[in-house]
Chains A and B, each alone.
Chain A
C-alpha cells in the first residue's frame, strides 16, 4: 500500500481503515481490511453472522479495547486523517467525534432530558440554556421532538421500543459527532419503528457520516449509499450500493446476495 494519501491535496476521507488486522487474543477476527468512507454518506456493512461487522464498527471508536486480549495486530484507522491510536488522541474526544448506537436500545434509567444531555454534561457543559438547546436539536434530529417535547422529564423507560432507540440516536448526536456508528439498530424493532429509523437515516446523513451494520439486504438497499460486504473477517467488496447489488464484482458477493452460500 502506498502511503500517498496523506499528501493528497483533497481533504482526507472521513474514515479510513488501512491494512487492519484485529484479533481477540489469539483469534484473528479481521484481516487486511482497507476501507475509505466519504463524508456525509451512509455506508452499510453486510455479511454473514460472525464475519466481523460489529468488530469492525467497534474498532472505529475503540470500543473493543476494553476487552482483555483484544488488540490491533497491524494497520491503522484514521478519522479525518488523524490516527485514532495516536497517544495524543483523547478517548473522550474521539468518542465525541464518533457516536454509537447499539443493537438493543439502552437509554439510561434517567429522564428523557438527562439521557440526551448526558454526553454534553460529561464533556463539562452545565449551562441549562445550552443544554436545553442541544437537547431540543438532538431530539429534532431524531424526529422525537414533537412527540416528547412536553414530557422531557419523564423516565426514559416509559417510552416505546422504537422511541427508546430513537432516543439513543438523539443521545448519540447531541454532541454533534462527525461519524455515527450503528450496529443493527433496527433488529429488535417492529416494522413501523424500523421504517421510522430508516427515514431518519437520510436526514442524519446530511450532518453525519453514517456506518450502519445490517443483516437485512433490503434495508441496506433502502438506506445506504455505499455497501461493504465482509466475509470471514475480510472485506470482499466495497462499492456504491446500487452497483454492488445489481452488479457484484466478486463471485462470493454474488453468492451471498443470491443466498446460494
Chain B
C-alpha cells in the first residue's frame, strides 16, 4: 500500500527534455485557455440579459400588463377553489350513481362491441342497399342473411359483466342480435338503463343542491370583474404589440444607420440611409392607454370589493350538512378555509392597484430579483414571458439532494468494505464492477428510469401497505425521486473511488498505533481510519454533488420537466413531484429559441449560474481536502 514504485530515471539529450517539457506545458496551457474562453463566451452571451430583460419588464409595466396581473394573479385561485368544490360534489355523487352509470355504460359498451364485430357484414349490407334497385333485389337478401347471422353470433359471443343481471343480459343479447339497419327493433334495455341512470342522477343531485348552488355562485361571482379585466387586458396587449413593433423597427433602423456610417461607397451609403428613413417609426403614444387604465381603475376596485364580499359570504355558507363522505368533507373544509384567504388576497391587490404607476422605472435590482428570485419560468407566452430562476434551481437542488442522500451512504459503505474488509480477490472484482457503472451512457439510464423504475415506483406506491409513505400513491411516473435514484447511481462510482482513495491515504502509522494500543479491527476502522479519511470523504461527496448538479440527460428524460416550484405541503412527499432543472432547461430550450432574444440570453444566464455552482462546489471540495490534509507518510 505504501510502497512506491521506484521509476528508472530517464535521461535524454537536453533538447529532447526541453521538447517534452514544453509539450506538457503546452497541453496544460491549452486546457486553461479553453476554460477561459468558455467563461468569456458564457459571460458575453449572458451579459446582455439584464438589459434585455429590463427592457421587457419596462414594456410589461408601461403597457399595463403588470397592472392586469395585479388582479389576475390572485384571481387565478378562484378556478382551483371551484375545482375542488366540483370534486367534492362528484365524489359525493359517485356512490349514489356509480352503479346505474356502470350498468348503462356496460350496455353501451356491448352495443359498440357487437357493432365492431359485425362491421364487415354491415358494410356489405350497406353497399347492397346502395345498389340500383334491380341489383339490390338480387344482393340484398344474401347480405341481410349474412348480417343477421353475424349479429346473432356476435351478440351470443360477447362477454357481459356481472353488473347486469342474468335477465338483463339475455334481453340485451336478444335486442342486439336484431339490429339490421332499417328494421331495427328499439334497443329497449339500453334506453331503460339510460332512463334509470338519468333518474338516479337527478335524485342524487337533488340531495346536493346546496353544494351545486355554491359552485355556481363561485363560478359566477367574478363575472363582472373578469369582464372589466379582459377589456383592460386587450388594451394592454395591443399596446405591447405596438411597443414591440416599434422596438423591432427601431433596432433595424439603428443597424442600417450603423451600416451607412461604415459604408465607403457614397451611393451605397445613400441607399442605406434611405432605407433607414423608410423604417422610421414614431414611438407609440401610451397616454391614451394610461388614461383608460386610470378610468377603469375605480370600477375594477369596486368589482374586486363586490367579488371578495361574495367569496367571504360563500365561505360562511358552504353546505357542510349535505356531505357525508370523509374525502368530500375534507375537500370542503379545505376550501372553506381557503376562501377567506382568497378574498383577502383579492382585497390586498386594491392598494397595489392604486399605487401602481405606468412610468415607474424598473431598477436593475428588481431585474436581478426577478431573475434570481422569480417564481415563474414562462416562455413563448402570448401574455408575458418571465425568466424566474427559482423553479429550476429548486428542481436541481432537490434532485441533487435526493441523489446525494442515497449515494453517500452506499458509496461510503462500499468504500469502507472494499478498503478494509474485502479479501484481495473480492476487491479485484468489486472495484471494476462499481467503476463500470460510469460506463453506462446516461441516456441508457434515462431509459431505465422511464421504462423500469418509473413503473416500479408507481406500482409500489399503489400498494395499500405502503400508503403511509408521504407522497404515496404517486401521480407521475417521471418525478424527482426517480431522477434522483438514477443520478445516485451515476454519482456512486466517483464518490466510491474518491472515498476509497481517502481511506487508502490514511497513513499506515495511524493504523499501527491503533493496533499497538489493542484496538480491534472494527475499532481501528471506525475510530481512526474513517475519522482520518473524513475530509477526503467529504470532498468525495461534494465532487459527487458537482457531478449530479451538472448531469443533464437523465434529468431531462426522467425528472418530468414540469416548470414549477414544487409544492412542499406534502413534506418529504415533495420528492415524488415532477420538476425541471437548470441543465434540462438549457438542453431542451436552447435549440429552439432565436439567437440573442431575451429567452436565449436567459438560458445563458442559467448556464453561468450553473458554472458558478460547479466551480463553488469544486472549490469547496478542494478547500476541504486542503484544510484537513493528512501529513504525508
Binding site for B on A (CB under 8 A): 61, 63, 66, 91-96, 99-100, 102, 104, 106-110, 118-119, 121-123, 157, 168, 171-172, 175
Compute how far the CA of A123 lies from the CA of B630 in the bound complex, rounded to whole angstroms: 26
Of chain B, the residue at the smallest CB distance from A181 is B516
Smallest distance from the beta carbon of A121 to chain B beta carbons, Å? Answer: 8
Cα–Cα, bound, A61→B527 (Å):
21
CB pair B523 A102 closer than 8 Å: no
Question: Are B513 and A168 interface neighbours, CB within 8 A?
Answer: yes
22 inter-chain pairs at a CB distance below 8 angstroms, sorted by A residue, are: A66-B515, A91-B518, A92-B519, A93-B518, A95-B517, A99-B516, A102-B512, A102-B516, A106-B507, A106-B509, A106-B510, A108-B510, A108-B528, A108-B532, A109-B630, A118-B514, A118-B517, A118-B527, A119-B517, A122-B523, A157-B631, A171-B513
For the complex, is B531 an interface residue (Cβ under 8 Å from A)? yes
Alpha-carbon distance between A94 and B519 when the two chains are bound, in angstroms: 11
In the complex, chain B residues 605-633 whose Cβ is within 8 Å of any chain A Cβ: 628, 630-631
| CA–CA, A168 and B513, complex, Å | 9
Closest to A101 in B: B516
B-side contacts of A122, CB under 8 Å: 514, 517-520, 523, 527
Which chain A residues border B515 with CB–CB below 8 Å?
63, 66, 95
Contacts of B518 in A (CB 8 A): 91-96, 119, 122-123, 175
Count, A-B residue pairs, CB within 8 A:
65
User: Whole-angstrom distance from the CB of B183 to the nearest CB of chain A?
Assistant: 97
Beyond A106-B510, A118-B527, 13 extra complex contacts between A and B, CB < 8 Å: A66-B515, A92-B518, A93-B518, A95-B516, A100-B516, A102-B516, A106-B509, A108-B513, A109-B531, A118-B519, A119-B518, A172-B517, A175-B517
State which residues 471-515 of B face A: CB under 8 Å: 507, 509-510, 512-515
Beta-carbon contacts of B527-565 to A below 8 Å, as 1s and 0s? Answer: 110011000000000000000000000000000000000
Shortest CB–CB separation between residue B302 and chain A, in angstroms? 71
Asked if A63 contacts B514 (CB within 8 A), the reply is: no
Determine the distance from Cα of A95 to Cα of B514 in the docked complex, in whole angstroms: 10
Identity of the chain B residue whose Cβ is nearest the Cβ of A93 in the assembled complex: B518
A residues in contact with B520, CB < 8 Å: 92, 122
Interface size class of B (residues with CB under 8 A): 20 to 34
- The B582-597 residues at the A interface (CB cut-off 8 A) are none
Binding site for A on B (CB under 8 A): 507, 509-510, 512-520, 523, 527-528, 531-532, 628, 630-631
Q: A123 to nearest B CB, angstroms?
A: 7
- Cα-based distance from A108 to B531 in the complex (angstroms): 10
Residues of B within 8 A of A96 (CB): 517-518
Residues of B contacting A107 with CB < 8 Å? 513
Q: Cα distance A106–B512 when bound, in Å?
A: 9
The interface residues of chain B lying within 8 Å CB-to-CB of A118 are: 514, 517, 519, 527
Assembled-state Cα–Cα distance A26/B512 (Å): 24
Question: Could you tell me the distance between the alpha carbons of A119 and B513 in the complex, rounded to whole angstroms?
Answer: 10
User: Which residues of chain B come closer than 8 Å to A92, judged between CB atoms?
Assistant: 518-520
Residue on A with the closest CB to B522? A122
Q: Which 9 A-B pairs have the closest CB atoms?
A: A95-B518, A106-B509, A100-B516, A92-B518, A119-B517, A106-B513, A122-B519, A96-B518, A122-B523
Report how far A45 CA is from B168 CA in the complex, Å.
107
Q: Chain B CB within 10 Å — which of A63, A95, A118, A175 has the most?
A: A118
Residues of chain B within 8 A of A119, CB atoms compared: 517-518
Q: How far is the CA of A118 from the CA of B517 in the complex (A)?
A: 8
CB distance from A35 to the nearest CB of B (A): 20
CB proximity of A74 to chain B, nearest CB, Å: 25
CA distance A109 to B528 in the complex (A): 8
Let me know if B516 and A110 touch, CB within 8 A: no
Cα–Cα distance between A171 and B531 once the two chains are bound (Å): 18
**Which residues of B lie under 8 Å from residue A94 when comparing CB positions?**
518
Closest CB in chain B relative to A159 CB, distance in Å: 12
Q: With a CB–CB cut-off of 8 A, which chain A residues contact B527?
A: 118, 121-122
A104 touches B509 (CB 8 A): yes
Q: How far is the CA of A63 from the CA of B511 in the complex (A)?
A: 11
Question: A125 to nearest B CB, angstroms?
Answer: 12
Contact across chains for A63 and B532 when beta carbons are under 8 A apart: no
Report whether B513 and A102 are in contact in the complex, using a CB–CB cutoff of 8 Å.
Answer: yes
Q: How far is the CB of A24 from chain B (nearest CB, A)?
A: 15
Most buried by A among B512, B518, B531, B630: B518
How long is the Cα–Cα vector from A122 to B532 in the complex, in angstroms? 17
Query: Shortest Cβ distance from A181 into chain B, in angstroms?
Result: 8
Closest chain B residue, CB of each to CB of A103:
B509
A109 adjacent to B532 (CB under 8 Å): yes
Q: Which residues of B contact A66 (CB under 8 A)?
A: 515
Which residue of A has the minimal Cβ distance to B524? A122
Name the residue on A nearest B534 (C-beta): A109
Using CB atoms, name the residue of chain B closest to A94.
Answer: B518
A184 to chain B, nearest CB (A): 14
**Closest beta carbon of chain A to B622's beta carbon, Å:** 19
| Distance of B356 from chain A, by nearest CB (Å) | 60
Q: Which residues of B contact A102 (CB under 8 A)?
A: 509, 512-513, 516
Question: What is the distance, in angstroms, from A115's C-beta to the closest C-beta of chain B?
Answer: 9
Nearest CB of A to B533, in Å = 10
Cβ of B119 to closest chain A Cβ, rounded Å: 81
Per the bound structure, the CA–CA distance linking A96 and B517 in Å amounts to 6
Q: Least Cβ distance of B431 to chain A in Å?
A: 20
A172 to B518, CA, bound (A): 10
Question: Which residues of chain B have C-beta atoms less than 8 A from A61's C-beta?
Answer: 516
Residue of B nearest to A106 (CB): B509
Residues of A within 8 A of B510 (CB): 106, 108-109
A16 vs B518: C-alpha distance in the bound complex, in angstroms?
A: 21
- Most chain A CB atoms below 10 A, which of B507, B515, B532: B515
Nearest Cβ on chain A to B515's Cβ, whole angstroms: 7
Residues of chain B within 8 A (CB-CB) of A110 are 531
Q: How far is the CB of A171 from the nearest CB of chain B, in Å?
A: 7
Rounded to whole angstroms, the CA-CA distance of A63 and B509 in the bound complex is 12
Docked complex Cα distance between A107 and B523 (Å) = 16
